[in-house]
A and B are shown apart, each in its own frame.
Chain A
């Protein structure tokens, strides 16, 4: 776990009452983990304890969302595919499938990846909120 963090992110640890950053980022509870890009812009946040099997996919999802937000869909797709293949039982997996469909759509302008995402979510994560969010894509 430590090596994964050291290799994949720049770790920054701050007390919950740090001034001015706790107010700037509106931190209300701990632990709060926020993924920032090199300009300090937030892309992903979790609040509350995450066990190791959830932390790694959550950190990967943060990196993928950063790449997605910066329109680097190729990089986002690679990371999201890793979450789906290596961390399929994690809570991050359904969101990764959803975002993978959107990233593929944005990089190809074809609707099929969106429908594929819905069908995979419906089959494997029928109770996920991400399955509900993908529901309209069944009609594509």
Chain B
């Protein structure tokens, strides 16, 4: 997916944002090659 997306890299930080922003978390497991 696009590099302009600001990805979280820690689950707890993403869940905290999800709670405050009332959004789901999209967790993307990828192969960095």
Contact call A62/B24, Cβ cutoff below 8 A: yes
Q: A37-B24, A43-B24 are in contact. Are A15 and B29 (CB under 8 A)?
A: yes
Contact call A36/B15, Cβ cutoff below 8 A: yes
A21 CB to nearest B CB, Å: 6
Interface residues of B in 1-33 (CB under 8 A from A): 1-2, 4-11, 14-15, 17-19, 21-32
Complex Cα gap A93–B2 (Å): 24
List residues of chain A with CB within 8 A of the CB of B9.
12-14
List residues of chain B with CB within 8 A of the CB of A25.
27, 29
Identify the B interface with A (CB < 8 A).
1-2, 4-11, 14-15, 17-19, 21-32
Interface size class of chain A, counting residues whose CB lies under 8 Å from the partner chain: 35 or more
Q: A1-B2, A38-B15 are in contact. Are A31 and B25 (CB under 8 A)?
A: no
Contact call A9/B28, Cβ cutoff below 8 A: no
Which of B19, B26, B30 sits near A9, CB closer than 8 Å? B26
Contact call B15/A9, Cβ cutoff below 8 A: no
List residues of chain A with CB within 8 A of the CB of B26.
5, 9-12, 33-36, 59, 62
Contact call B23/A9, Cβ cutoff below 8 A: yes
Q: Which of B6, B15, B27, B28 has the most CB of A within 10 A?
A: B27
Contact call A27/B29, Cβ cutoff below 8 A: yes
